[in-house]
């Protein structure tokens, strides 16, 4: 047996006690792992160097090798491969090299996440300015690029995204005269929902993505909501004025660990005295740790997935009051499953827009993200905050009443896109 094949066998045998995984070494040797149960998964490593860099730094190199075509799936998909690995009992104590890399990444993460306004804009453009035609391949008709809220099994992605907007709107305790700030507004779907369905007086959505804001503004004009749903290409730190409500969905992951106190202090300054805020963010239900290095290098530069303690320490120092916390488990796994399946159906179109390597990278990103939400301690936190203890009712009973009101309103349609229920 070659040295590379021996090393693979030594490393993977304790990782895969269940399932049927065959890994073909560069020498052609076939290494079999697991108890043989389930659909067989076969992967090939193309060269010996790929073996060693995979073993030394699996968190970074698995995605790189798949993207570069040096880890090739011969039977099953990369999603199947990652699912098999993560659905097992998990790795034993990592090697000294892996532990050293983790310590180095933790020690340098504040430096790597120094997201000043200029760097933040560049990081946003890296991911969100890939072109609307690309995102149209797999997002729902309302362009919601965040975790949906699945109310029952079998619910469609579009319906679950409407349920997410309804759930958030209910938690905001909205009134007709409210001014709302939407930090990280994306393509404007939530801002349009709040102005059109919840019927608040004004929503200001801010983003750093030029392509997102262009579509958000066009949608507001087409829907007749441009007088109440406004959008600005600006950093949250540059917003002026005060708002009755603040909402931020899927943006906090880009703030950077070193800027959490600035973020919450800014939000407190922008809230009216009886104001309420809803933060919807990906996070980890485990202790504070370093975010997957492949994701932060290739997909979300400057990003970080906070633990709840990361968030709450910064909230406590800001003067805001935590009024409610909800943990959405597996909702994002189902959202990502829908995106991944839609992307794979239209993958050839994505190849025509970019190239095969780019599409392997995105296939890995969607697969890795889904398996992280499905098998690891990655969740979504919805944290409701206020300046005063009495700004929110003492029980959650108000949520059902607010949702019933939102459901009862007529469906809104513009530009052929269904927004939700007025």
Q: Identify the domain containing residue 15 by its residue range.
A: 3-87
Is 198's pLDDT higher than 70? Answer: yes
Give the H/E segment covering residue 211. Answer: helix 210-223
Contact 273, 243 (CB under 8 A): no
Whole-structure pTM value: 0.90
How many percent of the chain have pLDDT more than 70?
88
Which residues, in sequence order, are CB contacts of 251 under 8 Å at separation 6+? 183, 184, 236, 281
Same domain, 69 and 211: no
Cα–Cα distance for residue pair 362/76, rounded to 1 Å: 17
Farthest CA pair distance, the chain: 74
In total, how many domains does the chain have? 2
pLDDT digits (tens, 9 = 90+) for 357-407: 999 999 999 999 999 999 999 999 999 999 999 999 999 999 999 999 999
Residue 400 to residue 417: CA distance in whole angstroms? 26
Percentage with pLDDT > 90 across the chain:
76
176-196 pLDDT, tens digit per residue, is 999 999 999 999 999 999 999
Instruction: Say yes or no: 75 and 130 in one domain.
Output: no
pLDDT at 119: 63
- Residue 200 · residue 174 · CB < 8 Å: yes
Mean pLDDT, rounded, of the chain: 90
Predicted pLDDT of residue 393: 95
How many whole angstroms separate alpha carbon 15 and alpha carbon 18?
A: 9
Q: Assign 331 a pLDDT band (cuts: 50, 70, 90).
A: very high
Task: Summarize pLDDT for 261-311 with one digit per residue, the tens.
Answer: 999 999 999 999 999 999 999 999 988 777 888 998 899 887 889 999 999
Q: Are residues 307 and 172 in the same domain?
A: yes
**Helical H segments across 13-156, by residue range:** 48-56, 58-67, 78-87, 96-112, 117-128, 132-135
In a domain, 135, yes or no: yes
Please report the pLDDT score of residue 96 as a whole number. Answer: 64
Judge if 121 and 238 occupy the same domain.
yes
What pLDDT is attached to residue 300? 83
Q: Which of 90, 146, 145 is nearest to 375 (CA)?
A: 90
131-148 average pLDDT score: 95
**Phi, psi at residue 183, to the nearest 5°?**
-90, 115
* pLDDT over threshold 50, residue 413: no
Looking at the fold, whether 152 and 234 belong to one and the same domain comes out as yes
Q: Are residues 208 and 338 in the same domain?
A: yes
- Verify that 339 and 198 share a domain, yes or no: yes
Encoded tokens for 201: 């007086």
75, 126: one domain: no
> In the prediction, which pLDDT does 219 show?
96
User: 10: which DSSP letter?
Assistant: H
**pLDDT score, position 175:** 96
> How is the chain split among helix, strand and coil, in percent rounded to 5?
50, 20, 30
Q: Is residue 255 part of a domain?
A: yes
Reading the block at residue 93, the tokens are 């104590």
User: Considering 87, 109, 139, which residue would you say is the last residue of a domain?
Assistant: 87
Instruction: Output the domain CATH number for residue 47.
Output: 3.30.1050
Relative to beta strand 179-183, strand 243-249 is parallel
Q: In the predicted model, is pLDDT for residue 411 greater than 60?
A: no
- Looking at the fold, whether 124 and 79 belong to one and the same domain comes out as no
Q: Is the pLDDT at 251 greater than 60, yes or no?
A: yes
In the prediction, which pLDDT does 422 show?
32
E-only strand ranges, 4-58: 21-24, 30-33, 41-45
Q: For residues 34 and 20, is the Cβ–Cβ distance under 8 A?
A: yes
Same domain, 70 and 130: no
Task: In whole angstroms, give the CA distance from residue 173 to residue 246.
Answer: 11
State yes or no: pLDDT of 418 exceeds 60. Answer: no
Q: The CATH number of the domain where 380 resides is what?
A: 3.40.50.150
Q: What is the pLDDT of residue 288?
A: 76
Instruction: Convert the pLDDT of each residue in 20-71 to its tens digit.
Output: 999 999 999 999 999 999 999 999 999 999 999 999 899 999 999 999 999 9
N-term to C-term CA, the chain:
67
Q: Collapsing DSSP states into helix, strand and coil, what is residue 168?
A: helix
Buried b (16+ CB within 10 A) or exposed e, 80-95: bbbbbbbebeeeeeee
Whether 80 and 222 share a structural domain: no
Same domain, 29 and 136: no
Above 70 in pLDDT, residue 86?
A: yes
């Amino acid at each position: 047996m070659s040295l590379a094949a021996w090393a693979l066998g030594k490393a993977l045998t304790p990782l895969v006690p269940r399932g049927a995984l065959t890994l073909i070494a560069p020498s052609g040797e076939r290494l079999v792992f697991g108890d043989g149960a389930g659909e067989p998964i076969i992967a090939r490593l193309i060269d010996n160097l790929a073996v060693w860099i995979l073993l030394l730094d699996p968190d970074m190199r698995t995605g790189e090798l798949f993207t570069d075509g040096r880890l090739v799936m011969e039977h099953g998909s990369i999603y199947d491969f990652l699912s098999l690995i993560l659905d097992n009992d998990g790795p034993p104590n990592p090697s000294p090299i892996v532990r050293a890399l983790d310590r180095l990444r933790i020690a340098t993460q504040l430096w790597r996440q120094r997201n000043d306004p200029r760097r933040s804009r560049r990081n946003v453009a890296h991911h969100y300015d890939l072109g609307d035609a690309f995102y149209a391949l797999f997002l729902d008709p309302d362009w919601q690029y965040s975790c949906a809220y699945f109310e029952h099994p079998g619910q469609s992605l579009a319906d679950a995204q409407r349920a997410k907007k309804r759930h958030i709107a209910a938690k905001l305790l909205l009134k007709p005269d409210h001014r709302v700030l939407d930090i990280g507004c994306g393509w404007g779907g939530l801002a349009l929902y709040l102005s059109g369905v919840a019927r608040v007086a004004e929503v200001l959505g801010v983003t750093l993505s030029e392509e997102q804001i262009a579509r958000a503004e066009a949608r507001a004009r087409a829907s007749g909501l441009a007088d109440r749903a406004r959008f600005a290409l600006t950093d949250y730190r540059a917003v002026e004025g005060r708002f009755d409500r603040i909402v931020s969905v899927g943006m906090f992951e880009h703030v950077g660990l070193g800027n959490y106190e600035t973020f919450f202090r800014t939000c407190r300054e922008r809230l009216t005295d009886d104001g309420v805020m809803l933060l919807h963010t990906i996070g980890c239900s485990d202790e504070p740790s370093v975010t997957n290095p492949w994701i932060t290098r290739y997909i979300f530069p400057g990003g970080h997935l906070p633990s709840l303690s990361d968030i709450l320490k910064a909230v406590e120092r800001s003067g805001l009051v935590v009024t409610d916390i909800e943990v959405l488990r597996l909702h994002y796994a189902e959202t990502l499953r829908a995106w991944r399946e839609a992307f794979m159906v239209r993958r050839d179109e994505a190849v025509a827009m970019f190239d095969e390597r780019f599409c392997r990278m995105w296939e890995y990103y969607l697969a890795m993200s889904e398996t992280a939400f499905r098998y690891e301690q990655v969740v979504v936190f919805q944290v409701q905050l206020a300046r005063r203890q009495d700004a929110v009712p003492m029980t959650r009973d108000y949520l059902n009443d607010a949702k019933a009101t939102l459901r009862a309103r007529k469906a809104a349609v513009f530009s052929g896109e269904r927004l939700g229920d007025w």
